[in-house]
Structure 1
């Protein structure tokens, strides 16, 4: 195709085709109208038109997370780009593979009303900025953004003034060469692997913490084999939720938003092997759970080792390959099977469940949802106090089919991410769990759900306002009046967009979730949850963030 290309816009379109792009999430404006029109008429790339630029980039983020491929978005310059801020920051925090095509105002037009420092904006959002200032470098610059995201470094923005986009290509520009796959990491140092093996076999209570640096499949299988050789319990980070979920030694997610048992195991271990995980404060309860024993950390990125928690032994290399090397060393010694060890379950937490109980306890609501979702569920969870119950309760069996959207601490991202997930997994139902405030922030994208017939379940945990802010105000001895909001009836709003909706006000009403397996198309459940319970996990998170006012004993 690129042999017939005459201008820079055509060259960018040709590059998108060569990179095997199958969808662009877009909001059209003066700066990208030509690009999108020519993409629609001259290629097989599908355009998904969002209602807001924040939604477009969130959709590209969701596509990238659930497909494992670059998620491409296109917006116009000026306010088109500035409207992407929260989604771009979220994608950067998640290191999500988003390619954003964002033109700039014409070169030299200093009085253009949409002119602003787009390079500074993109840099402040934590994304890679690649300027395209000369027609002859269009292929080099486009390949650079794709190479950046394929290397797992997070989002990248291709930025070209509109006059450059309309410029003719110089003679001899050639054709586009797709970006190469990132190089494989170097093999781990055999000496360090031997030291790690010695430490693990000498331990009486070894444990393994696994992050998203270990992919499902063969890599995860090596970790499972190693756990059996060591009789070591397995905990995962939240981003790796579902990895090795069927393994007998799997204890779930460590940290406040996961299994309390997993965290207790790490705290009791005398040697923890950290594989492909940053071991940040949220996973390690502020570092406390890794303070009592030896820590062996393995990561392909040497700079990530010890960044959050001190490592006694650092091994640079692919986590899965290192697990395989450890299996070969430890399995070849002929050592007898070690003694099993673990920690007991924590106390059960009572939740009122009488049929007439109203409103519904948030934990009970997500337990009911979890019971009706299939094992191969596609799940997206938004941020907020309600979300802590969802993260702790909803199960996953594959981290590639699960996402949370509080990477940047923002609410309102899940709807866009869920739409992108549905596009990435055509024909499959996606479940988005979000709060009432989250939905109100992204309400316009319900139109996108309807327009593209997205098979989406919206499980809205409605506590009538902003729950965490109410708890914060109460803990500080301040009135919580301003955190309550008289929203319109959310079910009626959904029906106004053409989405069937059900209202759940009591435990008895949860039975309507049984209809979900037969549902086609989008559906919304407006679940009125009890606003009073305060999740202990949020009290701990507030403590680590310095929120002394929130350190009062929480309810369950």
Structure 2
């Protein structure tokens, strides 16, 4: 009998079981995945642990659920996917997580040792499967022996804990899943590094710049969301406006006089940046998705820039730093605040002027669409808003002031995917079962992931899905029209969403006015609720039509 057959016949603790025990020992709660013939041994291992399994309707949905879960919980979202097509299906979701620095662990199988890349046409075979995710992850690793598993997972959790928390992919040959691992000892929690602390010298140089600044500006990104209290203390000591990027919204609460929730490329934000004599960038990559209008050319800010980032490569990209602080944003901000005496500048006035000018420059449709998102925030305490690439979310990126960090996020920046809103909202709801979660999608984007309506019903979660219906790919259609391109391919069939909602066991409300929308928000739903907004009627009703 071949040795591998002996392992299958009498395993004491198969590698698949050891993997699940390691995940459990390191506080993983959920695993998102669709069982397949190449992953069934992983499911044998799941049965003996406290890990909860969530079955999406597509592997892309698994990745988006893991993404939403990770953003809200701060823990890595973990996925099990099959060889070949499973890995291909999840790639888009991994790309979104990579662009937004979201911790995600994708564990896939791969063909047996000796069959990998053979070209003979084994089931799900790819020539170089690992390379499919290598460019979308912090690293992609193939386990070639049982002893490789523990260190590979420890490395992944170290990236999540103390590095830029991007996705990691680990693939396991199917013939290794049943190998006995009793000799590897019990599954234990990994000893992980702490967050990197700032250099005292860098803090002293940054503090000197802060003390001499008359019009300082703080810019916060997604890397600073868990340091909100520290950022507020520093901002108040400096009396500096805080411009929050798309992923940094909510670091300053909505009505804080120093908070500025605007698109970084907007006229108001650019003016704020160019009129400042110091820019302190905390946990933001200062990338072109947010800052393209000010990165290069004569309009770029001339003020010195203090960069605080956990990524030594990113800290040199975008605006060049006068002081580079390689550290966790919270530790760096606390250290810097300790060196700054509270001073009176005109920060609140500058922030208010920027907000007022931005609102005056918005067109009526944008203001009205933004009002829909503000209604959710104001009517529903502690609401989580999870957005797809859709018109209300684009309006939100221009000026939505989130109630708290990570209470509003979307796929409309970075990788810019569609189909994200519904499954990511499911992941967010799993991470925060006591909060009301709202997915915000367009009628076109929802059709990318319709099947996940069934996942929400199956999980018994009272999720609310807001469907902005403009009967097609409305944002792209508008873009084509502005570019003098005859709209083509954007007017698609819109299904009867009421019938789909009822088919999946959801309740349903159709609203055509802001008041009807506000009424629909008042009572928490007992079952998943779909609120369909007819765009044209909703916007015209605000005009009194």
Q: Does the alignment pair 1:156 with 2:168?
A: yes
Deviates more, 1:175-184 or 1:81-90: 175-184
2:411 is matched with: 405
1:222 aligns with 2:233: no
Distance 1:89 1:274 in 2: 24
1:176-234 CA distance string (max 9 Å, x none): 332223333143233x3333223222222112112233344xx4333323322322112
Structure 1 gaps, min length 5:
354-359, 534-556
Is residue 219–residue 242 contact of structure 2 (8 Å, CA) maintained in 1? yes
Matches within 5 A, 1:436-447: 436-447=443-454
Q: Deviations over 1:460-502 (max 9, x none)?
A: 1111101222123223333225311221111221111111111
For 2:82, the equivalent position in structure 1 comes to: 76
**Does 1:175 find its partner at 2:186?**
yes
User: How far is 1:256 from its partner?
Assistant: 5.0
* 3-state SS of paired residue (2:313): helix
**Are 1:140 and 2:151 matched, yes or no?**
yes
Segments of structure 2 that go 5 or more residues without pairing to the other structure are 1-10, 540-545
Contact 1:351 1:363 survives alignment (8 Å): no
Residue aligning to 1:235? 243
Instruction: Choose from 139, 155, 165 the match for 2:177.
Output: 165
Q: Which residue of structure 2 lines up, in the alignment, with residue 196 of structure 1?
A: 206
Could you report, residue by residue, the CA deviation over 1:281-317 in whole angstroms, capped at 9, with x for unpaired residues? 3433522575132222222333222301122332333
1:449 Cα offset (Å): 0.7
Instruction: Name 1:297's counterpart in structure 2.
Output: 307
Quick check: 2:198–2:325 contact (8 Å CA) kept in 1?
A: no
Q: What is the CA deviation profile of residues 296-349 of structure 1, one whole-angstrom value per residue up to 9, with x for unaligned ones?
A: 222233322230112233233333333333333332xxx864455515211534
Within the candidate set 85, 88, 101, 2:91 is matched to 85
Q: Within 2, Cα distance between the matches of 1:60 and 1:272?
A: 34
Deviation of residue 389 (structure 1)? 1.3
Aligned to 1:244: 252
Matching residue of 2:122: 112
Asked if structure 2 preserves the Cα contact closer than 8 Å seen for 1:59 and 1:418, the reply is: yes
Distance of aligned partners of 1:229 and 1:66 in 2 relative to their CA distance in 1, 3 Å threshold: closer
Q: In 1, are the aligned partners of 2:376 and 2:383 still within 8 Å (CA)?
A: no
Instruction: From the superposition, tell whether residues 257 and 463 of structure 1 become closer, same or farther in structure 2 (CA, over 3 Å).
Output: farther
SS in structure 1 of the partner of residue 223 of structure 2: coil
Match of 1:255 in 2: 263
Structure 2 counterparts to residues 452-491 of structure 1, below 5 A: 452-491=459-498
Q: Distance in 2 between matches of 1:305 and 1:124?
A: 20
Conserved 8 A contact 2:305-2:321: yes
Counterpart of 1:478 in 2: which secondary structure? coil
CA separation of 1:306 and 1:141: change in aligned 2, threshold 3 A: closer
TM-aligned CA deviation for residue 352 of structure 1: 7.4
Distance 2:129 2:528 in 1: 37
**1:107 shift after superposition:** 2.4
Residue 357 of structure 2 corresponds to residue 351 of structure 1: no
Alignment of 1:254-403 (within 5 A): 254-256=262-264, 261-287=268-294, 291-331=301-341, 337-339=344-346, 341-342=349-350, 344=353, 345-346=356-357, 347-348=359-360, 349=362, 351=364, 362-374=369-381, 376-403=382-409
> Matches of 1:266 and 1:496 in 2, distance apart?
51
How much has 1:372 moved relative to structure 2? 2.5
Taking structure 1 as reference, are residues 316 and 129 closer, same or farther at Cα in structure 2, changes over 3 Å only?
closer
Q: Is the 8 A contact 1:100 1:158 kept in 2?
A: yes
SS in 2 for 1:235: strand
TM-score after normalising by structure 1: 0.85
Cα offsets for 1:48-91 (capped at 9, x unmatched): 11111111111111111111112111111121221112111111
The CA distance in 1 between the partners of 2:187 and 2:34, in whole Å, is 26
2: CA distance, partners of 1:269 / 1:476: 34
Q: TM-score, normalised by structure 2?
A: 0.86
Q: Quick check: 1:368–1:513 contact (8 Å CA) kept in 2?
A: no
